[in-house]
Structure 1
Amino acid sequence: MLKNNILYLSDRIFLSDKNIPKTLLDEMRTLGLIAPDMLKVNFCGVVSYCDGLAVFFPRNYNTSNIKLDVSSHLLIQALLKYYQNKDSAIYAQENGDEVIGGRSFTLATSLLDDYRSNGLYVRRVKEKTINSGKVNWARTIARSTSYPTENGPIYLDFFASRSRYISNCETAKIHAQVIKELFSNYGVLWLGVSSYFDERLELLSKPLGSIEVQIAYLQRELQVTYSERDMFLIKSLIQYLRVQKGSNASKVLIGVRKFHHMWESMLDECLVGKYAVNNKLPVPVYQTIDDKFIPVAQKGQRTDTVLKFPESNRFAVVDAKYYEANSPNTAPGWSDLVKQFYYQKAVSLLEGVNASVSNHFVFPGGSGELKAAHVAERGVIVTAETDCLGEQYPTIYCHYQDPIKLLEAYVKNHQLIELTDELFNVVDYS
């Protein structure tokens, strides 16, 4: 497989789009990423097919001001971070939206990072010597002839030991083979480079035997290994070979089917001034036929993100919406608006009459056509904001965030200061 042949596409692209090769569609159907009733791709991540790799970026990403190879690097780093984040992983599992291939990819990247830090495995062998190395006095006294002197016995021969390092052992060959496979499959994307060549890996010959033989050899090696790094490495190699046993080692698959959960999680982490309110919001209470009142806290209101402006009583209720949102027809519907109205009302009741609480949608994209969402009576011709029912249904302001810049901020633990300022500055709090 030519792994440097990378095809860049977008989540939610139509299956009929001429940019998607038939071989890629066939592979995605085989992997269960495309169902018979689907018209669009619902996948964000990386998948291999017979002609190379296909990278599916988040929808509405801007192609004019990014380097695609760097953006691919950011995408898989963000996927790995999202997978390894326990809170995100639990939330994704509850919604049936775990990261596909996350476990295998975590193992692959840990092996790659270990190799970059420590190099190839070398076996440390301790051998017995005479008159060379570290003296073993107990053995020397027991086995050597001593010659008495005024200052004590003298030994002409010293029994000693020294360590020798073997760099072309079978474990090193297995390690080299695995790392070459990982660089071929993941290296270009994980390292963020266009190509990679390592002479050290090419100099070692292939290991002997089948995968079962290699696993058995590593298990024996593990029994005589005491270094923490070596034990971690050998256990990881065994785990990798077990995963590859009976599977196609050239398959690469890492991504999510429902990127909107990851979109919400990344925005929640990167916005500034996050304010925890979910554990304070009202909860439903059910009255039984015998007049018992039972609260159900786990079914209470759960906002995406609430922000509080520093040293003020200004709040912003933010709903991260992974919609196309390039027109009113591709924007959130009534149910999404109603939830936002109730969230705004709940936070207002919680914070008191002096609190100013605004509503916001954040869509993917560098820019967009939508400025705000209002509600008006049916049949009324709306030409200005004053024609809408602003007192009963507060305005929901619309914002756009470049998904690639969000990936970068999420991976690098940066904050979205510009977007946060926009959320608060778009509202007139006077």
Structure 2
Amino acid sequence: MKTSAFKNIYFLDRSLIHSLPTPVATYIQSQGLLSSINGLNTSFCGLISYQGKNYFFFPRQSNLIDIKQDPVRYCSMLMQALLKFAQLSRTQIRNPEDGADEIGFEKLEMFKYLIHDFQQHGIFKNEEVHLRKNSGKSDWKKTINRSISYPDSSGHPVYLDVFGKHRTSANSEITRIHAAILKQVYSNYGFIFTRNHNVPYSLKQFGDTNLSIDTQISILKNEIRNHFADRQTLLLKTLIEYLQGFKGNHQKNQIIGVTRFHVAWEHMLANCFENVIDINSKLPKPVFVRYDGQAIPAKKSGMRTDIVIKDTALHTLTVLDAKYYEATTVENSPGWSDLVKQFFYEKALKEIIDFQDYQYQNIFIFPGKEVIFQKIKMQDQQSGDFLTNEFPEILCLYLDPLEILKKYFNNEKISLKYFFNDREK
């Protein structure tokens, strides 16, 4: 098994498919990683390993200049934040339509396990225990059974020959298999967890195995029978899983990421803001009234807010809608249906008894560092007046997706007050 580092290349989610190198563009199309809107843009955040290259796709509106100045840091942050999201998503019961379509994270977990196991326990070695005279740790049971004792002046037995256990380690074929796999993992993906591209020096002393993948798998399966400890058994099973995953896939092509990052964008923001509350169960829902007066609730219909922040001191409720739009022009910003929903959120909140003495504000959160739009208002087309009383304005907030990835992964919180204090300066 040869060890060769993949070359890393960086793109953004929602890139035009024809702007990508032809080989990976063709691969992306074959895997269906395209936007359902027009099929002309990618719809993927994460890592695509293809033909010896790692293609990292960051959230739209991320700053590629920043990424290329410190690629190890940002690629590590991207993949570990997505891994955290994928792991949390498994524990949540949700509508399949609300999922982010996570792909391949079991592979990333495998790489992480192999690296952490090596850091804690080192390379796998077969240990043999030999019985030696006057060497190693004393084994008094063997000594009493095998040696002749002589009484001392007090009548106590003295053994001239003491048997001891001498433990030796052998660099077996399994050691070479383990080392070869670790060198591949460290070389191509280790920086995600260690923040550097270096293969540990201790692994370089082991030569690569010349055995076929099938033979390596057979050897590992046979070795499992000789071990009862959980750590050795789990390690051997993971090595087998690694080899089986790349069997017939000599270029090690793989996909690890999410195809609907707008779901992850909402989740990450909800976990980053302070004082988030869940009010969806309190929002009114539509019912269909039959001719006989029976009201039938619409189970699938109804309002569902992304993020609601309650400020008890200021007596305000803020409805934040995580909008994964480019939002640099009117054309690529939220449309009428998005605006109507936001207007109705505020109307619905005013009907909740618990918050009738609160003030309300609506905010769209877009990915990006540069503020393009500050707010959205409704305007009378004849007079040109803003209809602020009838349709409360929607504020626009742009947040750097790279910063959100960092805060989400590190469990850091964001205060909404910070952004509005900054605007008032």
TM-score (norm 1): 0.87
Residue 394, structure 1, aligned to residue 389, structure 2 = no
Partner of 1:306: 308
1:39 is aligned to: 40
CA spacing shift, 1:41–1:89, aligned 2, 3 Å: farther
AA at the equivalent of 2:330: P
Name the residue aligned to 2:402.
404
**What is the number of residues matched between the two proteins?**
417
Q: Are residues 246 and 63 of structure 1, via their aligned partners in 2, closer, same or farther at CA, if it must alter by over 3 Å?
A: closer
Q: Call closer, same or farther: CA 1:88–1:157 in 2, change over 3 Å.
A: closer
Partner of 2:156: 152
Gaps of 5+ in 2: none
1:114 is matched with which residue? 117
Matching of residues 32-71 of structure 1 within 5 Å? 32-34=32-34, 38-50=39-51, 52-66=53-67, 67-69=69-71, 70-71=73-74
Moved more, 316-325 or 151-160: 151-160
- SS of equivalent to 1:329: coil
The aligned residue for residue 336 of structure 2 is 334
Opposite residue 254 of structure 1, the aligned amino acid is I
* Alpha-carbon offset, residue 358 of structure 1: 0.6
Q: CA deviation at 1:258?
A: 1.4
Give the 3 Å change call, closer, same or farther, for CA 35–3 of structure 1 in structure 2. farther
Question: Which residue number corresponds to residue 138 of structure 2?
Answer: 135
Deviation at 1:412, TM superposition (A): 1.3
Distance, in Å, in 2 between the alignment partners of 1:213 and 1:291 is 73
CA distance 1:230–1:93, shift in 2 (3 Å): farther
CA offsets 1:105-140 (integer angstroms, 9 cap, x no match): 211122123223332223332222222233333333
Alpha carbons of structure 1 residues 393 and 87: separation in structure 2 relative to 1, 3 Å: farther
Q: Which moved more, 1:298-307 or 1:53-62?
A: 298-307
Contact 2:83 2:105 in 1 (8 A): yes
Conserved 8 A contact 2:50-2:251 = no
Question: How much is the aligned-residue C-alpha RMSD, in angstroms?
Answer: 2.8
Residues 197-212 of structure 1: pairs in structure 2 closer than 5 A: 197-207=199-209, 209-212=211-214
CA distance in 1, matches of 2:202, 2:135: 31
Specify the alignment match of 2:218 in structure 1. Answer: 216
Whether contact under 8 Å (2:49, 2:254) holds in the other structure is: yes
Structure 1 residues 292-371: aligned runs within 5 Å: 292-295=294-297, 299-350=301-352, 351-371=354-374
Compared with structure 1, are the counterparts of its residues 44 and 88 closer, same or farther at alpha carbon in structure 2 (3 Å cutoff)?
farther
Aligned equivalent of 1:26: 26
Q: Which is worse superposed, 25-34 or 402-411?
A: 25-34
SS in 2 for 1:317: strand
User: In percent, how many aligned pairs have the same letter?
Assistant: 33
Structure 1 residue 327 displacement after superposition: 1.7
Displacement of 1:293 in angstroms is: 4.1
Which amino acid is the alignment partner of residue 348 of structure 2?
A
Q: Which runs of 4+ in 1 moved over 6 A?
A: 424-427
2:146 partner letter:
R
Please name the residue that 1:254 is paired with.
256
Asked if structure 1 preserves the Cα contact closer than 8 Å seen for 2:6 and 2:188, the reply is: no
How far has the Cα of 1:381 moved from its partner?
5.0
Measure the CA separation in 2 of the matches of 1:402 and 1:308. 23
Structure 2 CA distance for partners of 1:392 and 1:267, relative to 1, 3 Å: same
Residues 143, 162 of structure 2: 8 Å contact kept: yes
User: Aligned in 2, Cα 1:396/1:113: closer, same or farther, shift over 3 Å?
Assistant: same
CA shift, 1:212, in A, is 2.9
SS at 2:277's partner residue?
coil
Q: Which residue of 2 aligns with 1:421?
A: 418
CA–CA distance in 2 between the matches of 1:92 and 1:171? 45
CA distance in 1, matches of 2:221, 2:306: 48
State the 1:286 CA deviation. Answer: 4.4
Q: Secondary structure at the match of 1:328?
A: coil
The letter of the residue matching 2:392 is P
One-letter code of the match for 2:256? I
